[in-house]
Amino acid sequence: MTYAYLRQLSDNHSLSKQQQHILSYSLSHRLSIEREVMEYSSISHTMEDREKFEAFIHNLAEGDCIITQSLWVLSSHIDEVIKIINCMLSHKVDLHITDANILINRETGISRVFPLLNTLNETQREKRSQIGRPKGSRSSSKFDPLQPQIITLLREKMSVSAMARELGVSRSSLKDYIESRELRQIIARSWAEVAQPGKNDRETERHTLLICPFEEN
């Protein structure tokens, strides 16, 4: 199974940009994506807070393939990135990092992986030393927890006015959010449908949601 893995973050790594990178990479490397996985979680959350993502990683089987834009998307904690890579290698899973144009598997030399880890470590250090919001970053929105539901309603061709009434929010604010997050473009490039969580899902309460789409017929 070949998965495209995307994660909604509050910086400039938007879902739309991640999709563009993954689509371009998969086409140039002749990879056929079978499932699209989107995770909605705060960048500050650790693996303990990302139970569904952790389960997804541990359930990968030999021969599976993950395509993602960068190591930063997997985790902002370098120790967690190392654990994720180690888990994939132990399961004989291929990991494609599009922005580095690299395939990480058991045959990949460690000399090719170290520069990526060093870059991630330096990025972490720079972010900790910055005062205020980094240039180009995107602030969080009150609509972020509703994004899976908004995507579902957009797929159903519901108008922004009808969505605003159903969600009990301002139409203009919702319209601005949809445009700023490029949600229509995300849907247009999506490979599969979005599964909605239950209302009592503990993951939803802390704004952490892993969306594993259904397999396409």
Task: Name the superfamily (CATH) of residues 2-140+191-211.
Answer: Resolvase, N-terminal catalytic domain (3.40.50.1390)
For strands 94-97 and 102-104, give the pairing: antiparallel
**Whether residue 69 has pLDDT greater than 80:** yes
Once rounded to an integer, what is the mean pLDDT over residues 30-39?
Answer: 87
Residue-wise DSSP of the chain:
-EEEEEEE-SSS--HHHHHHHHHHHHHHTT----EEEEEE--TT--GGG-HHHHHHHHT--TT-EEEES-HHHH-S-HHHHHHHHHHHHHTT-EEEETTTTEEESTTS-HHHHHHHHHHHHHHHHHHHH--SSPTT-----TTGGGHHHHHHHHHTT--HHHHHHHHTS-HHHHHHHHHHTTHHHHHHH-SS--PPPPTT-HHHHTT-EEE-PPPP-
Q: Give residue 126's pLDDT.
A: 60
pLDDT at 148: 74
Question: Rg of the Cα trace of the chain?
Answer: 17
Residue carrying the six token digits 């190591």: 71
Q: What is the pLDDT of residue 64?
A: 95
On average, the pLDDT of the chain sits at 76
For residues 141 and 13, what is the distance between their CA atoms, to the nearest angstrom?
Answer: 15
Q: Round to whole Å and give the CA distance between 163 and 154.
A: 8
- pLDDT of 144 reads 76
- Smallest CA-to-CA distance from 95 within 106, 87, 104 is with 104
The band of 195, judged by pLDDT with boundaries at 50, 70 and 90, is very low
Question: Would you say residue 50 has pLDDT above 90?
Answer: no
pLDDT for position 61: 92
Q: What is the pLDDT of residue 161?
A: 94
The pLDDT-based confidence of 193 (bands split at 50, 70, 90) is very low
Distance CA 174, CA 158 (A): 13
Per-residue pLDDT tens digits for 109-149: 777 777 777 776 666 666 555 555 544 445 667 887 787 78
Reported as a single tens digit per residue, the pLDDT across 74-88 is 888 888 888 888 889
- Average pLDDT over every residue of 91-119: 85
- For residue 205, what pLDDT band results from cuts at 50, 70 and 90? very low
Cα-based distances in Å from 182 to 25, 123, 137, 151, 186: 20, 26, 15, 11, 6
pLDDT at 197: 42
